[in-house]
Amino acid sequence: MALRKNQSSLTSTEKKQLTDAVLKLKAGGSPGNRYDELVLIHEQNITYGHFGPAFFAWHREYLLLFEQALQNIMNDQSIALPYWDWTANQSANTFGWPFTADFLGGNGQGSYWQVMDGPFAYDTGMWPLTVRTGTEPYSFLMRRFGPSQQPPLSLPTPANVQAALQATPYDVPPWDITSPSGLRNRAEGNIPFGMHNLVHMWVGGSMTPFTSPNDPVFWLHHCYVDRLWSDWQILHPDQVAYLPREGAPIKGHNLYDAMPPWTVRPVDVLSTWDHGYHYDTDGFLVPGEVLYPGQTIYSMGDHRYYLAYETDGNLRLWLRGWGNYLWQSSDSKKPLGKCTMESQGNLVIRDNNNNKIWESKTDGHPGSYLVVRPDGHATINQPGVPKPIWIQPPEKG
């Protein structure tokens, strides 16, 4: 399983791993490279991935193709796309910021808003834009963040996201941009105008035309949008995951229609787990997955509880908004390393020399996985066994 994490929790090593893979995919700078092929797919199939019910499903398949391309070119199946939670830390004016010089680079500069720093700056020679529309005369990456625009734009807020996540059903007639309710049209950004659409406009520049995947922030943005669909399914198990079965005005948007340019249908991409990835907000850590210092997994559904591998080398279970933790692995500072859910069922913290410094002592249970439950417990469960083999904090009675 690939674990898709919040980009704000990525280590410097993970950031470099991702940018190296993206640059390698782009290498050559011609329309024949795989990165540019993916940009072209988005531009040429815009009506199938937007303006209707297949918005989530089409982009889920699109993200999968990109993620798999990165894994294949680096021969590393652990590579996973991170997501940018654009609602985060807005009061601090940091916007859950992925636009740093060592990662995606910053805002554009000069009269043409050219990105001048980071690995995707034109001057590096590694990021020419070769697939462009008629509105893009320049071969360099451009950004003009919302506060720089006239009138200034703001990013969607946590309240906007919660409103979308509470919206039911998935979609409603007439199954297009005029649909008056439902998750899809609210998240896509047409009721009211905002959400997905607004983020594209807020980043500005190369993120505004249909060749928007030219800006690598596209993938982090859409990864968060994909996570919202996953979250919505968890929050609404009584709801149909996708509508309509039939009746959409454009072929490619019904449940069993192929989504051009592929034969893949919306029904084929309803589950993240069936496609080999999940999100840190899904509440799981499956065998082989790792938490590095500062990284977290959340309880399913409401995300009220979270388990963090903290920078003093300990695991702690927290309730959001509380000042005291519910459980910790140790009451003394430990060397930093990583926390791994090992294949035989043992949750282990090791230092950077691979020395074991803490364990759950649950070895001998192959295939077991860690869960952060909505009732405030972290458990290790063995498939097919109803009772957890490990639970913290211990249940009373």
Please report, in tens digits, the pLDDT of each residue of the chain (397 residues total): 788 999 988 888 899 999 999 999 998 655 558 999 999 999 999 999 999 999 999 999 999 999 999 999 999 988 999 999 998 866 545 556 889 888 999 999 999 999 999 999 999 989 999 999 988 889 999 999 998 899 999 999 888 998 999 999 999 999 999 999 999 999 999 998 889 999 999 999 999 999 999 999 999 999 999 999 998 988 888 899 999 999 999 999 999 999 999 999 999 999 998 888 989 888 889 888 889 888 899 887 778 999 999 999 999 999 988 989 999 999 999 999 999 999 999 999 999 999 999 999 999 999 999 999 999 999 999 988 889 999 999 987 5
* Alpha-carbon gap, residue 151 to 154, rounded angstroms: 10
* Alpha-carbon gap, residue 389 to 370, rounded angstroms: 10
369, 286 contact by CB (below 8 A):
yes
- Please confirm whether the linkage preceding 244 is cis (ω < 30° from 0): yes
Write down the domain spans for the chain.
2-277, 283-392
Q: Give the pair of three-digit tokens for residue 269.
A: 């991409």
Superfamily of structural domain 2-277: Di-copper center containing domain from catechol oxidase (1.10.1280.10)
The CATH-assigned architecture of domain 283-392 is Orthogonal Prism (2.90)
Who's near 199: CB < 8 A, 6+ residues apart? Answer: 86, 155, 156, 207, 221
283-392: same fold as 2-277? no
- For residue 117, count other CB atoms closer than 10 A to its CB: 17
